[in-house]
Amino acid sequence: MIPIVRRIVAARVPDRATADDLVQETLARVLAAVERIEPGMVEPYAIVTARNVVATMWRDQDRQRRHQHRVVDLRPPELPDEDVLAQEDRHAMAEALTRLSERERDTLLAHEVSGQDTHSLAAELGSTAGAVAAQLNRTRARLRVEYLLAADRVEPPTERCRPVLLALSSGDRRRQREVDAARHLLECELCARLSEPLMGRGRSRDDEVRVAVRVDADVVAARQAARELAARLGFASTDLTEVATAVSEIVRNIVRFADAGEVLVELLDSPRRGIRITARDSGPGIPDVQEALREGYSTYRGLGLGLPGARRLMDEFAVASEPGRGTTVTMTKWREAG
């Protein structure tokens, strides 16, 4: 288990000393929880914990950075290497600031550093306070992206990277869908890494769960996550089992046919209460979706009921697939009849 945790943390945290601390923290948390974990689930639990620990660190750092100008220096005496790190941090921040437009930079600095409020900024710019605040939010989102890129000393490899990172940084879900952010993160290693601190930002949502899917065990983790979330809506146990079974069928396809994918489980409020599962992969895609939904379709050992079977268990079911790019299955079960 330790090598896995170490690998996960090391992939996200470049600094070795910090990475070691986070690994220790993860193991401590897993040990503390070991009695509550179902047998056989310790490893998935450790993986999720490791990701959370890293995300929390980023979030805390980000929060500290944002609030830094507000504190009088209360920090403890600096460690020898802290100076170097702080210097790198300053470089990255300075570099990121130069990548903003002049107007963005001036407004941001006037607000964040000089403490000028949005009303007086709006008066100067001939705009409204609301518009200035929105502009400031966009600027901060851009600054976060540029800061991460500068700190990493990388340029995004594709033209899609910046729009995707920006959409994630601003937390704008509509924009994220427009640029197909989730798919891009599966395809682009750099963005997958940089997006971690960006996604950890903002209100933590307790009405959705994401499960990364690579190996067999992830199928079990995904269906258990779906069952647990659905249980909160008070679904009957028959419905819970049907949801878990449908998730099992669909997520297995990711492990079989695609190398990597992700399952998003969300609770829905409108048009009525329900649970939606989105399983996305960057695999070879399904050449003929209609054919795959037909009864008796089979491409692997088993009963060949993957898609049509899962469709029967859920209320709504849709498959979108693009050959060579991957497949997205979206399925919903409603809590009460419509």
Question: Using CB under 8 A as the criterion, which residues of the chain lie in contact with other proteins when the complex forms?
Answer: 1, 38-43, 215-217, 219-220, 223-224, 227, 237-238, 240-242, 244-246, 248-249, 252, 255, 295, 301-306, 308-310, 312-313
Which candidate, 131, 108, 137, 106, places its Cα nearest to that of 119? 131
Dump the DSSP string for 169-189.
HHT-HHHHHHTTHHHHHHH-H
H or E element that contains 330:
strand 326-334
CB closer to other proteins, 167 vs 250:
250
CB closer to other proteins, 237 vs 290:
237
Provide, for the chain, the percentages of residues in helix, strand and coil under a 3-state DSSP scheme, each rounded to the nearest 5. 60, 10, 30
d(CA 300, CA 253): 10
CB closer to other proteins, 42 vs 264:
42
Write out the E strands in 152-292. 208-213, 261-268, 274-281
Tokens at 47, concatenated: 């993986």
CB closer to other proteins, 50 vs 244:
244
Query: CB of residue 213 vs other proteins: minimum separation in angstroms?
Result: 12
Residue entry with tokens 């979330």:
229
Q: Residue 12 contacts by C-beta under 8 Å, 6 or more apart in sequence?
A: 51, 54, 193, 196
Which candidate, 173, 151, 148, 117, places its Cα nearest to that of 161? 148
d(CA 46, CA 264): 19
CB closer to other proteins, 156 vs 304:
304
Query: CB of residue 249 vs other proteins: minimum separation in angstroms?
Result: 6
Query: CB of residue 87 vs other proteins: minimum separation in angstroms?
Result: 41
CB 218 within 8 A of CB 269: no
Query: CB of residue 289 vs other proteins: minimum separation in angstroms?
Result: 19
Query: CB of residue 3 vs other proteins: minimum separation in angstroms?
Result: 10
d(CA 56, CA 264): 20
Query: CB of residue 304 vs other proteins: minimum separation in angstroms?
Result: 8
Query: CB of residue 191 vs other proteins: minimum separation in angstroms?
Result: 29
CB closer to other proteins, 215 vs 318:
215
d(CA 29, CA 31): 5
CB closer to other proteins, 280 vs 311:
311
Query: Taking each helix axis from N to C terminus, what angle separates 42-67 and 2-12, rounded to the nearest 10 degrees?
Result: 30
CB closer to other proteins, 39 vs 77:
39
d(CA 172, CA 278): 18
CB closer to other proteins, 205 vs 312:
312
Query: CB of residue 242 vs other proteins: minimum separation in angstroms?
Result: 5
Query: CB of residue 52 vs other proteins: minimum separation in angstroms?
Result: 20
CB 149 within 8 A of CB 100: no
